[in-house]
Chain A
Amino acid sequence: MLNALTLTVSLAALALAAWCGFAAYRDQPTKDWHFAGMAVVTVLALAQLVVGVVRLAQGDEADEGTAIFVAYLLGALFALPAAGFMSLVERSRWGSATVAAGAVVLAVLEVRLHDIWWEG
């Protein structure tokens, strides 16, 4: 369950990065549809956080300790809302570029989460 979510969030984040990167390339600010996309990916990250915490509560353990695992889950949850808020303040292509960078950061966080939580 957690592995599937990690993979889903990674792919969704990369798609969002490409989408917002394209908007930046075309000199456009983020629009309603971009925010809908950010919302979808953020809901996935929230689901990942909930599943991760439930698994910890059930007695499972992450490779590098609970603190690091939860820190990465929280970072993954807040990456896009923070970048999205900044793109609301910066209504230009650079706001779109910021969201694209935020989505890339999220994808990197997912790779790290995969490193510390992988049941083969």
Chain B
Amino acid sequence: MEAAVSTTNAKELWSGGDSPFKVSYGKIMMWYFLISDTFTFAGLLISYGAIRSSQPKHDETNPLSWPDPNHVFNAGPGFHHAPLVFVTFMTFTLILSSVTMVRAVQEGHYMNRAGVLKWMALTILGGLVFVLSQAWEWTHLIHEGMTPSSNPFGAYSFGALFFLITGFHGFHVSVGVLLNSWAFIQTYRGVFDRRGHYEMIEKLGLYWHFVDLVWVYVFLAFYLF
């Protein structure tokens, strides 16, 4: 029984006098991590901007000019000559998975284990579909001859930046899928129910929305402009 008593005492002591945002340390940490990660992506995207601005603008006659995204990304599994259709699907999937994540967090607030499981499963599915789609796109482009060091569609840097930045983002999505799967298992085993809150799902939600948000910028950089 002693343990239970000391736990309540400990709670008071640990929470200290000030907790300015009324937020747990885990969430603060996640926020700061995301700020930090923003800077990593910012470093990469600024490099993208710097390199791109030094390259010739798109020009049909110059084989080394910046390529036209409509021309590069015009295929999907089983179809061709459909500019940006596949990436629209990928983006849609990822955004949808953010929506399901919101639902999962919500169910977590209600302490509804079944709800969390359902929406987490959909989120994981969305993430998986995205990662697999990206794998398909990469394979396709490599088949077409685009690698980090060569690019049949135009400026070499396009290929290098594309693989680097989408790769780094894809790595984030993959990590997210793994973490979400882990949380799914923990939920299934009832760990969060026993803990009395679903904060872990909330923290993963923050990460997942961040990864989603970054994709918007990546999408803008490579597919739209």
Do A and B originate from a single complex? no
Residues of A within 8 A of B (CB): none
